[in-house]
Amino acid sequence: MPVSAASSQLVYEGLKDCGIRLLSVLPETWLVHLVSLAEADPDMTLVRLAKEEEGVGVSVGAHLAGVRSAMLMQNHGLLASVNGIVSLAQLYRVPLLMLVSYRGGFGEEHPWQTEGGGATEDLLRALRIPYLLLARADEVAARLRQALTLAEASLRPVALLLCRDLMWEE
Amino acid sequence: MLRLEAMREIYPLLAERVVVTNMGAAPAELFSLGHRPGFFYVEHSMGLASSVALGIALARPELEVVTLDGDGSVLMNLGTFTTLARHRPPNLLHVVFDNEVLLSVGRSFSTATATGSDLAAIAAAAGVPRTGTYRTTANLAAACREALAARELAVLVAKVEPVGPASYLIDLHLLENRFQFERHLRSLPRAEAGGALAAGHAENQEPTGGRP
Secondary structure of B47-97 in the HEC alphabet?
A: CCHHHHHHHHHHHCCCCCEEEEEEHHHHHCCCHHHHHHHHHCCCCEEEEEE
Taking only residues 60 to 119 of chain B, the set having a beta carbon closer than 8 angstroms to any beta carbon of chain A reads 60, 63, 77, 79-80, 82-83, 86-87
Single-letter amino acid code for the residue at B162 = P
Q: Which of A39, A83, A92 sits opposite B174 (nearest CB)?
A: A92
Instruction: For the beta carbon of residue B41, count every other beta carbon within 10 angstroms.
Output: 25
Q: What number of C-beta contacts closer than 8 Å exist between A and B?
A: 155
Overall average pLDDT of the B164-190 stretch? 95
State the pLDDT confidence band at B210, using cuts at 50, 70 and 90. low
Check CB contact under 8 Å for B53 and A88: no
Q: Radius of gyration (Cα) for chain B, nearest Å?
A: 16
Q: What is the mean pLDDT of chain A?
A: 97
Report pLDDT digits (tens) over B112-132. Answer: 999 999 999 999 999 999 999
Q: What is the pLDDT at residue A170?
A: 77
Check CB contact under 8 Å for B200 and A62: no
Check CB contact under 8 Å for B59 and A65: yes
Selected residue of B45, B91, B174 to mutate for chain A interface (largest A Cβ count, 10 A): B45
| Nearest chain B alpha carbon to A54 | B51
Lowest mean pLDDT among A7-11, A77-81, A109-113, B103-107: B103-107
State the pLDDT confidence band at A12, using cuts at 50, 70 and 90. very high
For residue B24, the chain A residues in CB contact (below 8 A) are none
Lowest mean pLDDT among B6-15, B77-86, B95-104: B95-104
Torsion, Cα of B133, B10, A91, A17 (10° steps)? -90
Please state, in angstroms and as integers, the Cα–Cα distance from residue A34 to each residue in A28, A75, B154, following that order.
Answer: 10, 16, 31
Q: Give B202→chain A minimum CA distance, Å.
A: 9
Q: What is the pLDDT at residue B208?
A: 43
pTM for the model stands at: 0.94
- pLDDT of residue B19 exceeding 60, the answer is yes
Backbone angles phi, psi at A29, to 5 degrees: -55, -45
Write the burial class of residue B169 (CB in 10 Å: 0-12 exposed, 13-18 middle, 19+ buried): exposed
Q: What is the pLDDT at residue B206?
A: 42
- pLDDT of residue B203 exceeding 80, the answer is no
CA distance B21 to A36: 34
- pLDDT of residue B200 exceeding 90, the answer is no
Interface ipTM > 0.85: yes
Share of chain A above pLDDT 90, in %: 98
End-to-end CA distance of chain A: 10
Q: What is the pLDDT at residue B195?
A: 56
Check CB contact under 8 Å for A45 and B175: no
Report pLDDT digits (tens) over A77-123. Answer: 999 999 999 999 999 999 999 999 999 999 999 999 999 999 999 99
Selected residue of A43, A53, A58, A73 to mutate for chain B interface (largest B Cβ count, 10 A): A58
CA distance A104 to A127: 20
Report pLDDT digits (tens) over B70-86. Answer: 999 999 999 999 999 99
For residue B37, the chain A residues in CB contact (below 8 A) are none
Taking only residues 7 to 46 of chain B, the set having a beta carbon closer than 8 angstroms to any beta carbon of chain A reads 20, 40, 42-45
Judged by a CB distance cut-off of 8 A, whether residue B189 touches chain A is no
Report pLDDT digits (tens) over A134-154. Answer: 999 999 999 999 999 999 999
Q: Which of A42, A48, A94 sits opposite B195 (nearest CB)?
A: A42
Q: Give A135→chain B minimum CA distance, Å.
A: 20
Overall average pLDDT of the B142-165 stretch? 97
CA distance A131 to A142: 14
Q: What is the pLDDT at residue B198?
A: 52
Taking only residues 111 to 150 of chain B, the set having a beta carbon closer than 8 angstroms to any beta carbon of chain A reads none
State the pLDDT confidence band at B199, using cuts at 50, 70 and 90. very low
Check CB contact under 8 Å for A92 and B178: yes
For residue B54, the chain A residues in CB contact (below 8 A) are 47, 54, 57-58, 61
DSSP-derived 3-state class of residue A1: coil
Return the closest-CA partner of residue B50 out of A43, A50, A100. A50
State the pLDDT confidence band at B202, using cuts at 50, 70 and 90. very low
